[in-house]
């Protein structure tokens, strides 16, 4: 979904042209004040740090890039989502996304979020579209900044939630999952330094309702070997109530 196209000013293209020579990888992440973004590296393959995804340690973040173009225009090809080390632009992990944001234009109704443990060793990524949380993944960062993951948290939590909903809704499997808090000022996702996490979830029928709210508590485990991935398990699911559409 690549709607929401906007005109990118010529000054941005001028800034992109200053990046010579083009690099296959990124470099240190530095502020670019005119667009209020952090840019990592230069030329083709440079990355833009996604807002509000920097770790508590200020060492890591999520960023997006395209390998064959600078990140100052709507991307035409594959978009990489990377876990990046801000000091030197080191790519610690890479997957794909449809999200992009140049600072002036952005993907329509798509968002990428990162929820970090206080010690910046656990991270939960959430990728959202208009009505749903489409990706919910667990990553861990260990010695020498080695990233393990992802572990698919969405596939872990969605089936038991739909199962709990079936006594109340005949079409429970058709309900959409979105990370959303029932309380007005409540945090949606938290994970601590031991890997214990809480996720606020809503199952709903988009536009029509109703909206069923749950709190999922779980525990994450680090990978036991270099070839392994982190794992997680559900500890408890608590029903928070339902809101009917008007």
pLDDT tens-place string over residues 125-171: 999 999 999 999 999 999 999 999 999 999 999 999 999 999 999 99
Q: Per the domain annotation, does 198 fall within a domain?
A: no
Give the whole-angstrom CA distance, residue 159 versus residue 242.
19
Q: Per the domain annotation, does 104 fall within a domain?
A: yes
Average pLDDT over residues 44-61: 97
Q: What is the pLDDT of residue 116?
A: 98
Average pLDDT over residues 188-209: 95
225 band by pLDDT with thresholds 50, 70 and 90: confident
Average pLDDT over residues 92-105: 95
Residue 37's nearest CA partner among 23, 18, 51, 26 is: 51
Q: Per the domain annotation, does 62 fall within a domain?
A: yes
pLDDT at position 204 over 70: yes
Task: Confirm if 18 and 114 have CB atoms less than 8 A apart.
Answer: no
* C-alpha 78, offset from chain centre: 17
Average pLDDT over residues 34-43: 92
pLDDT at position 19 over 80: no
Q: Per the domain annotation, does 94 fall within a domain?
A: yes
Q: What is the pLDDT of residue 246?
A: 61
Q: How high does pLDDT run on average in the chain?
A: 88
Neighbours of 140 (CB within 10 A): 22
Q: Per the domain annotation, does 155 fall within a domain?
A: no
23 band by pLDDT with thresholds 50, 70 and 90: very low
pLDDT at position 85 over 80: yes
First to last CA, the chain: 30
Q: Per the domain annotation, does 122 fall within a domain?
A: no
Give the whole-angstrom CA distance, residue 176 versus residue 17.
43
Number of domains in the chain: 1
- In this predicted model, which residue has the larger pLDDT, 14 or 66? 66
The dihedrals phi and psi of 139, each to the nearest 5 degrees, come to: -125, 150
Q: What is the pLDDT of residue 25?
A: 63
pLDDT at position 10 over 70: no
Average pLDDT over residues 54-76: 94
Domain with 33, as residue range(s), is 1-108
Q: Per the domain annotation, does 17 fall within a domain?
A: yes
pLDDT at position 88 over 90: yes
- What count of Cα atoms within 13 Å lies in the side-chain half-sphere of residue 123? 31
Q: What is the pLDDT of residue 138?
A: 98
* The pairing of beta strand 47-49 with beta strand 111-116: unpaired
- In this predicted model, which residue has the larger pLDDT, 26 or 63? 63
Task: Confirm if 149 and 92 have CB atoms less than 8 A apart.
Answer: no
Average pLDDT over residues 55-62: 98
Q: Per the domain annotation, does 184 fall within a domain?
A: no
> Helix, strand or coil for residue 85?
strand
């Amino acid at each position: 979904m690549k709607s929401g196209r906007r005109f990118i000013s010529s000054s941005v293209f001028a800034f992109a042209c200053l990046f010579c020579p083009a690099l296959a990888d990124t470099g240190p992440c530095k502020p670019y004040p005119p667009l209020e973004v952090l840019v990592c590296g230069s030329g083709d393959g440079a990355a833009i740090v996604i807002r509000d995804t920097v770790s508590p340690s200020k060492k890591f973040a999520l960023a997006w890039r395209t390998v064959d173009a600078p990140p100052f225009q709507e991307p035409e090809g594959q978009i990489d989502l990377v876990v990046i080390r801000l000091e030197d632009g080191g790519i610690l992990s890479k997957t794909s996304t449809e999200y992009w944001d140049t600072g002036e234009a952005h993907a329509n109704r798509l968002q990428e979020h990162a929820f970090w443990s206080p010690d910046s060793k656990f991270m939960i990524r959430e990728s959202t579209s208009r009505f749903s949380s489409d990706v919910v993944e667990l990553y861990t960062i260990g010695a020498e900044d080695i990233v393990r993951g992802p572990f698919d948290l969405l596939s872990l939590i969605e089936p038991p939630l739909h199962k709990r909903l079936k006594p109340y809704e005949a079409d429970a499997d058709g309900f959409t999952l979105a990370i959303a808090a029932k309380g007005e000022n409540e945090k949606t996702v938290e994970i601590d330094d031991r890997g214990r996490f809480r996720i606020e979830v809503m199952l709903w029928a988009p536009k029509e309702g109703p909206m069923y709210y749950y709190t999922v508590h779980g525990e994450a485990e680090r990978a036991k070997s270099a070839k392994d991935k982190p794992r997680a398990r559900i500890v408890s699911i608590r029903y928070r109530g339902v809101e009917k559409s008007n």
